[in-house]
Structure 1
């Protein structure tokens, strides 16, 4: 069959772009695997993603629940896709006043307890620090990304499935990695099963601050 050079090139590029594979991303320092539970990882494609390309299961998640339980936020670190709804149910017997003054999302949920206010929609990407105006040790982080490829490290790696081959920027964030700044690296993904990202310093994640015991013993503050 006769094919023009243009059609051959188009077919070749389409075939290459649409190839997808699974990828595990790990962190390491000086050749040793680094554990960083909760660290968020997201991939930004530096090429147009084909409409038919598979996406990670994370893309189906269009809502996130961040509870207030035992005078803490749970989970401590979260990642969601742009446009998601964030729910803040209060499971405690005390009132909380949830707020954020972060640039991507500034809001306040005035004092409430034993209920779930209307969800907050995240419409700008970036890092959002959450706090409680009543309990100053309560801190949590929410990362909003504009990509379907994102996840969190459970122990020492995070898995992605259905990743189209091509060039990506990989982003890693955790409050105790890289002085709280996103760690960025480039990856030309051609089906590698594993990719290791070197962190500049040994990671010793700090535990989430717990409520003082005397506050936990109280039935209610308000």
Structure 2
């Protein structure tokens, strides 16, 4: 890596960790709604990016690291996809086979019970949001290598809708207490297949959002029914 590229990548990582940590503190210490705080952070980040780079201006990323990471294939598979699989595998191990994962599940089920079990709920929450911020920064880097350029506010809202849809379709309960790495990966794959199918069918962009909205509402309804069923069984 050249000095400029290396410093730029480190700045992305640092900014992602900082934003994730800030969101975590607001959610854990001030008890603010996580979804609203995260959404607000998205809008702030988009606005701040427009201050650094004039809105609409594209910065093209040529050669070196970006060309390698964006086009490199191993056994015919793009490097970015292999990174995704490796990250999901690591997350699966942590989530299902470590004390940290057990603490995350316990907090999702009941924060009060988690506190009684001796878990530092605030610390775990902040750590989760920092890890989420780091993943977001890494995803931004990999997306820029595939596109070959960066642009302030580029389709941030569209990607947000895809992320929400993927998580809900993957079976994660908005109310908390249930979610799996495999389910999230399935949700991502499903949204990718839907996007590709809509493009191949030449469906207008405006209908993309309508269709995704219907999919989210349907998946949310199914998840709510499952949550209600689980609550009834618990009582």
Answer whether TM exceeds 0.5 for this pair: no
Bigger relative contact order, structure 1 or 2 (CA pairs below 8 A, ≥6 apart): 1
**Superposition TM-score tier, normalisation by shorter sequence:** under 0.3
Higher strand share: 1
Q: Which has the higher helix share?
A: 2
Looking at CA atoms only, which structure, 1 or 2, has the larger radius of gyration?
1
Normalising by structure 2, we get a TM-score of 0.25
**TM-score scaled by length of structure 1:** 0.26
